[in-house]
Amino acid sequence: MKHLCFLLIALTIMINSCQNKTVEEQNPFFVDYDTEFKAPPFDLIKESHYLPAFKKGVEEQNKEIEAIVKNMQAPDFKNTIVAFDKSGELLTKVGSVFYNIKETDNNDELQSIAREVAPLMTKHRDNISMNMELFKRVKSVYDQRETLDLNLSQIRVVEKYYNDFVRNGAELSTEDQEKLKKLNAKLALLQLKFGENQLAETNENFQLIIDKEEDLAGLPEGVIEAAALTARQNGEEGKWMFTLQKPSLIPFLQYADNRALREKIYRGYFMRGNNNDEFDNKEIAIQMASIRADRAKLLGYDTHAGYVIDENMAKTPDKVYDFLNQLWVPALDKSKTELKEMQAIINAEGGDFELKSWDWWYYSEKLRKAKYDLDEAQIIPYFQLSNVRDGMFWVANQLYGVTFSSTDNVPLYNDEVEVFEVKEADGAHLGLLYLDYHPRNSKGPGAWCTGFRESITCDGVKTAPLVSIVCNFTKPTGDAPALLNFDEVSTLFHEFGHALHGLFTTGEYKRTAGVVPQDYVELPSQIMENWAAEPEVLKHFAKHYKTGEIIPDELIQKIQSSGHFNQGFATVEYLAASILDMDWHSLSAAQEVDDALLFEKESMDRIGLIDEIIPRYRTTYFGHIFDGGYAAGYYVYIWAEVLDADAFDAFKQSGDIFNPELAAKFRKHCLSECGEDEGMVQYMKFRGQEPTVDALLSKRGLN
């Protein structure tokens, strides 16, 4: 009987072992991807695979760190820096899928996993960055870096890792490290909650349902058809539904004659996260700003802004404020002129009211038509999404020789996604580009570029990157294909610039390959927007979706002439958000905020923001800074615009917007090797001089 018990126990252990092995073998993250281009097998990946992969990834990286620490050989570049740089491959593998899918196809189960993963990963990162034995080895290599026969790239990666450890608390006392870990853990969960609230408030918690046809007056037919389709998809047959997603919101604000309904939908938009319910973000924002201030103090900085910007091209918050103020005055003056012009239209039409924020889009469209004889509805039929996509591919081909060909043998994470193989001019495989165009209730708002695998060159062999562009553009309706407005055209070109940065990146080390200061990162994207508006480019892709007619010169001239139109508003709403971000993150640990809305109001009052314009992002839905990587960094878009305006000016001055010599230099210094030195150093290798704001002011018509 005793022997039988032992036999049963042994058999149970063996069965459990086999079952565990089977589960592990079935997890796609635990094996090499057996797909074309080794792309993620989205058709095989299930929610149940993520958490085990994260946990195993943590376990594996801990073993890799332990091996570095226990290495009996003296610390050197290979056994410490390179070994650390190569650690954590499984975590990178699962994270690059999980975090991206959570943004595009979120659901309750993914949110639940994220709540468990957030503290797990925060603790893991803290354990590494405050591992004193590991830091001692990194510091040893850092102290010897000038005598170890290292090249400049190797010295740079040593310095970056050393600085990372210091900035993440390696030199703090044990007591302060414990404080820092607690602050980081709180921040991770608050950030997650802020994002969940914003997603719900944007995609689920507001709908404008119209059941009277007269309330649609002024709206273009395509907008009406899209609203009818949205209503049908949500069980409201025979009605029209408008949402807070930009392709629905903005056309309604631009064209709807019903002023009360314009106010209703705009209030729904700017009150997100501010409705005193379970999705309210006011207290979360206050807590996050406070914790960031406390963390900055622990790490030796006066403010979180000082901590962040120390790593950027700007270097100090004062320089950022000075830069923003330099643009604020002319932008505010121009917005006031625009306001007077629109009020004059209201008065001329017999309107007995003062223009409000929900009126701006509507009357700016009237003003555009009056000043430039341009109605945006005139140009939208020329911007069929597939043609715009092919046009941006053509621009990249003219500049860099790369080609894009559709491929259908790669698994998709959603049936709406397209995938293109990218090749060099000589036919060599460069990478894959995923394109995800349209809104879904599961998808976050806005547009972004990310990746499922980054480019690293190891032993002379480059890992082909997998880059993804995600947007929220208007869907096809009825017999009409997806048609874009010009802002959406610019957005697609913008994100494509990020994609080219990812595709072209070269470098041997994860820490530096393609990694640039935060206020440089928008240069590759924003420069691409310039080509979108060039006549030569427009004539290539802007073709009427019904007739195939190339956009006429008259319309191109109107687009060009109206390039400065409404730039007072666009610049002011952006700068207001940038300054609001800086103010939240210029709080010291000693300063307390009791009321988020009052803090925001005082911030905007200080700069004289007019009532008719709201910051592009108010505090309670400012996802860039409370659920993204742009805290004390939202200013970077316009900082980089100084660079992109100056860089594109070089092409214009050369007389050839596709100048092959300049394109090759830009690719080499500003896209491929941009992580090899400081941002301005790399830019000057291309341009030969530092940029000034002159080209930006001219571009926006503010000078």
Q: What's the mean pLDDT when you consider all of the chain?
A: 94
Distance between CA atoms of residues 78 and 76, nearest Å: 6
Contact (Cβ atoms closer than 8 angstroms) between residue 162 and residue 142: yes
Predicted local distance difference test score (pLDDT) of residue 460: 79
Q: What's the CATH class of domain 285-380+568-626?
A: mainly alpha
- Token pair belonging to 433: 């580009």
Among candidate residues 236, 282, 128, 300, the one with its CA nearest the CA of residue 598: 282
Q: Centre a 10 Å sphere on the Cβ of residue 497 and count the other Cβ atoms it contains.
A: 23
CB burial string 481-490: b at 16+ within 10 A, e below? ebbbbbebbb
182-230 pLDDT per residue, tens: 999 999 999 999 999 999 999 999 999 999 999 999 999 999 999 999 9
- Token pair belonging to 276: 């005193």
Residue 405 has what DSSP assignment? E
3-class SS of residue 60? helix
Amino acid at 282: K
Predicted local distance difference test score (pLDDT) of residue 543: 98
3-class SS of residue 633? coil
Q: Among 495, 522, 529, 676, which one carries the catalytic annotation?
A: 495
Q: Please check the confidence at residue 113 and state whether its pLDDT lies above 90.
A: yes
Residues pairing with 688 in the sheet: none
Q: How far is CA 607 from CA 286, 332, 460, 612, in A?
A: 21, 10, 53, 14
Q: Centre a 10 Å sphere on the Cβ of residue 275 and count the other Cβ atoms it contains.
A: 16
Integer-rounded Cα Rg, in Å, for the chain is 27
Predicted local distance difference test score (pLDDT) of residue 702: 86
Q: pLDDT > 70: what percent of the chain?
A: 96
> Which residues fall within 8 angstroms of residue 188, CB to CB, at 6 or more apart?
118, 119, 121, 122
User: pLDDT grade, residue 8 (50/70/90)?
Assistant: very low
Active site residue 495: yes
Residue 621 has what DSSP assignment? G
302-332 pLDDT per residue, tens: 999 999 999 999 999 999 999 999 999 999 9
475-520 pLDDT per residue, tens: 898 889 999 999 999 999 999 999 999 999 999 999 999 999 999 9
Distance between CA atoms of residues 478 and 476, nearest Å: 7
Contact (Cβ atoms closer than 8 angstroms) between residue 516 and residue 465: no
Q: Centre a 10 Å sphere on the Cβ of residue 368 and count the other Cβ atoms it contains.
A: 18
Q: Please check the confidence at residue 93 and state whether its pLDDT lies above 90.
A: yes
Q: Please check the confidence at residue 377 and state whether its pLDDT lies above 80.
A: yes
Q: Domain coordinates of the chain in residue numbers?
A: 48-129+131-171, 206-270, 285-380+568-626, 381-567+636-700
Predicted local distance difference test score (pLDDT) of residue 695: 83
Q: Do 48-129+131-171 and 285-380+568-626 share a fold? A: no
- Token pair belonging to 4: 């039988």
Cα dihedral 338, 344, 350, 354 in deg (nearest 10): 50
Predicted local distance difference test score (pLDDT) of residue 64: 98
Distance between CA atoms of residues 503 and 466, nearest Å: 8
DSSP letters spanning 157-203? HHHHHHHHHHHTTTTS-HHHHHHHHHHHHHHHHHHHHHHHHHHHHHH
Taking domain 48-129+131-171, whether its CATH number is 1.20.1050.40 is answered by yes
Q: Centre a 10 Å sphere on the Cβ of residue 401 and count the other Cβ atoms it contains.
A: 15
Which run of H or E residues covers position 430?
strand 429-436
> Which residues fall within 8 angstroms of residue 127, CB to CB, at 6 or more apart?
62
User: pLDDT grade, residue 12 (50/70/90)?
Assistant: very low
User: pLDDT grade, residue 23 (50/70/90)?
Assistant: low
CA atoms within 13 A on the CB side of 191: 22
Distance between CA atoms of residues 584 and 600, nearest Å: 9
User: pLDDT grade, residue 53 (50/70/90)?
Assistant: very high
Q: Please check the confidence at residue 648 and state whether its pLDDT lies above 60.
A: yes
Q: pLDDT > 90: what percent of the chain?
A: 91
Backbone angles phi, psi at 676, to 5 degrees: -80, -15
CB burial string 106-130: b at 16+ within 10 A, e below? beeebeebbeebbebbbebbbebbb
Among candidate residues 242, 304, 666, 222, the one with its CA nearest the CA of residue 475: 222
How much is the pTM?
A: 0.92
Strand positions, DSSP E, 317-417: 403-406
> Which residues fall within 8 angstroms of residue 198, CB to CB, at 6 or more apart?
272, 273, 281, 444, 445, 621, 623, 627
Amino acid at 163: N
CATH of 381-567+636-700, one of 1.10.1370.40, 3.90.1150.10, 3.40.980.10, 1.10.760.10: 1.10.1370.40
Q: Please check the confidence at residue 160 and state whether its pLDDT lies above 90.
A: yes
Q: Please check the confidence at residue 673 and state whether its pLDDT lies above 50.
A: yes
Predicted local distance difference test score (pLDDT) of residue 479: 85
For the chain, report the end-to-end CA distance as a whole number of angstroms. 95
Predicted local distance difference test score (pLDDT) of residue 25: 61
> Which residues fall within 8 angstroms of residue 286, CB to CB, at 6 or more apart?
593, 594, 596, 599
CB burial string 422-436: b at 16+ within 10 A, e below? bbeeeeeebbbbbbb
3-class SS of residue 693? coil
Helices 47-69 and 132-143 pack at an angle, to 10 degrees, of 60
Q: How far is CA 668 from CA 313, 420, 542, 675, in A?
A: 20, 23, 30, 11
